[in-house]
Amino acid sequence: MIMAHFGKICCCLVLVGVIGCGSPIKRKFNKSSLREDLNDILACGQGDTSDINLMISYLEACLPTNEILDGKTYSQLLKEATYFHTQKQRLAAETVIREEKERQREALKINELNHSIEVKVVDKAYKAESWREYMVFKMALTNYNNKPIRAFKGKIVFRDPTDSLIRSYDFLYDTPLPTGKKTLFSFRTHFNSFCNKDQEIHTQSLKDLRIRWVPEKIIFEDYSTL
């Protein structure tokens, strides 16, 4: 790496006395004399430390990609480095703006999902059938959207009183749910008596559990989605 080899150019260069300048910035790039050339450019005032460091960063980016640098003057390289830096800053700013817009779109989607359907766990029970054990959750589902729902999915997240995650369950409801309609639905999942997380959900009362519905997707009757 050029920066590793030469260090910060502003720190490693030592200028002694007054030298004949000529025009070192018009010299052609030569990797073997790079340090001396940059030293002369600084000494003659044809570039400051920020220009030199800008050029070094550009050269570090070009050399690994086999860009042809031989034949170009340091003046040309400085112009290219300035353009390269400007473009890099522009792309970084565009990325920040794009990510912020995506974050806002996702936040709006989540907000609309949360206001479209309400899912509450109103009761839970343990059941054993034919050597299998289950936890059965009674769910209250309400469609607050202005369109009938064909199906929806999401996660039911259980946390303990300290807000530590116990576990989450994937939940899919694929029965039509009309606008403004509230319905009760029994959601059954396998229960493992040797699993501490299952036991915690089983033994804790509903009022001591922090339960959150996290919607992921809604399919409406007209097949549009959210």
Average pLDDT of 26-42? 85
Burial class (CB within 10 angstroms; exposed 0-12, middle 13-18, buried 19+) of 72: middle
For the segment 14-41, the average pLDDT, to the nearest whole number, is: 73
Q: Determine the average pLDDT of the residues in 189-204.
A: 89
The closest alpha carbon to 53, from 41, 66, 44, 63, belongs to 41
At 19, the pLDDT band (50, 70, 90 cuts) reads: very low
**Mean pLDDT of all residues in the chain?**
84
Q: Which of 14-23, 82-91, 107-116, 200-209 shows the lowest mean pLDDT across its residues?
A: 14-23
In this prediction, residue 69 has a pLDDT band, given cuts at 50, 70 and 90, of: confident
Tell me the three-class secondary structure of the chain, residue by residue. CHHHHHCCHHHHCCCCCCCCCCCHHHCECCHHHHHHHHHHHHHCCCCCHHHHHHHHHHHHHHHHHCCCCCCCEHHHHHHHHHHHHHHHHHHHHHHHHHHHHHHHHHHHHHHHHHHHEEEEEEEEEEEEECCEEEEEEEEEEEECCCCCEEEEEEEEEEECCCCCEEEEEEEEECCCECCCCEEEEEEEEECCCCCHHHHHHHHCCHHHCEEEEEEEEEEECCCCEC
User: Which tops the pLDDT comparison, 29 or 155?
Assistant: 155
Chain centroid to Cα 10, Å, comes to: 36
End-to-end CA distance of the chain: 49
pLDDT of residue 150: 94
Q: Where does the pLDDT of residue 16 fall: very low under 50, low under 70, confident under 90, or very high at 90 and above? A: very low
* pLDDT above 80 for 21: no
pLDDT band at 143 (very low <50, low <70, confident <90, very high): very high
What's the rounded Cα separation, in Å, for the pair 203 and 124? 10
Q: What is the mean pLDDT of residues 117-122?
A: 92
- Residues 167-184: pLDDT tens digits? 999 999 999 999 988 999
What is the mean pLDDT of the segment spanning 185-196? 89
Structural domains of the chain, ranges and CATH numbers in brackets: 2-13+21-93 (no CATH), 115-220 (2.60.40)
The pTM of the whole model exceeds 0.75: no
Residue 11's pLDDT is: 44
In angstroms, the CA 98 to CA 116 distance is: 27
